Structure 1
Amino acid sequence: MTQLLNGNKLAIDIRKEISKEIEKNIRNKKKRLPHLGIILLGTNSSSLTYVNSKIQECKNIGIESSLIHLPNDSSERELLKEIQKMNNNPLIDGFIVQLPLQKHINSDKIIMSINPKKDVDGFHPENFGKMSLDMNAFFPATALGILTILERSKIEISGKHTVVIGRSRIVGRPISILMSRKNYLGNSTVTLTHSQTPNIDCYTKQADIIITAVGRPGFLTGKMIKEGAIVIDVGITIVKDGKKSFLKGDVDFNSVYGKASYLTPVPGGVGPMTRIMLVKNTLMAALNR
Structure 2
Amino acid sequence: MIARDDADLLLALGDVAGGRIARGAVLQVLATQMQASHATLYAQDDVWGEAPPPRPACFDSLRADRVYSAEELVDRAGPFDPDFGSGDHRVIAAKGPPLWLWIHKTRGSFRAADSARLSGLMPHIAQSHVLGQERAGLAQALGQAQAMLWHAGLGRTGPNGPDATAARLLAEAGISAPDVAPGALHALPDGITAYGLSDDDILLRAARDLPAPARLAQALGLTLSEARLARALGQGQSLPHASAALGLTRETGRSYAKQIYAKTGVSGQSGLVRLLWCSALAFG
Report the TM-score when normalising by structure 2. Answer: 0.27
Q: Which has the higher contact order (CA 8 A, sep 6+)?
A: 1
Larger radius of gyration, structure 1 or 2? 2
Higher helix share: 2
